A and B are shown apart, each in its own frame.
Chain A
Amino acid sequence: AQSVTQPDIHITVSEGASLELRCNYSYGATPYLFWYVQSPGQGLQLLLKYFSGDTLVQGIKGFEAEFKRSQSSFNLRKPSVHWSDAAEYFCAVGAGGGSQGNLIFGKGTKLSVKP
């Protein structure tokens, strides 16, 4: 069965520091992978996605993620964090093709940013 693990529940970084949020997935075939961000009181917004091709994908707001099949990981990175990046981040995996039905989300990582 598909699953997504985000091992860090809460991370605090200083503004300007680099950031890496971890995501591991379990899926038998090539996964469709996503990172979403949720600000308080808001819905989820897509940061980036990986379907195929280049394993390093760029997203909005200066985020990037790297798909590593050997490690079943899709970690999210940002070289310099801004205070406005404080939010909750969700990794998700989908079966793809539009017929499988279920997009599985991780439990999320809450990011706090120190001034």
Chain B
Amino acid sequence: DTEVTQTPKHLVMGMTNKKSLKCEQHMGHRAMYWYKQKAKKPPELMFVYSYEKLSINESVPSRFSPECPNSSLLNLHLHALQPEDSALYLCASSQGLAGYSDYEQYFGPGTRLTVT
């Protein structure tokens, strides 16, 4: 099973709303990632969790708050977002630990977020 699942598939939220994106994998991967992808652009790394601990935060605004409750789950909590935050949010996982360069990342289908 090489599946990463993400919910919801689509989300429309107002700037004052609080919502959460969810990601799940059952491949035993110990690294999980959040990416943001704007239209016609490559994915941009937001956060990396390694062994359920936040290892990379790419200077993401605090209105995005990641959470890794256990090794299979990754959440992204959203609060007071701006219209420019509208994008495709991709979750990924990999076996790779720090110090390994060869493990591919498996991506979920993404959540298309629209902030109104």
Q: Do A and B come together as binding partners?
A: no
Q: Give A contacts to B, CB under 8 Å.
A: none
Q: Give B contacts to A, CB under 8 Å.
A: none
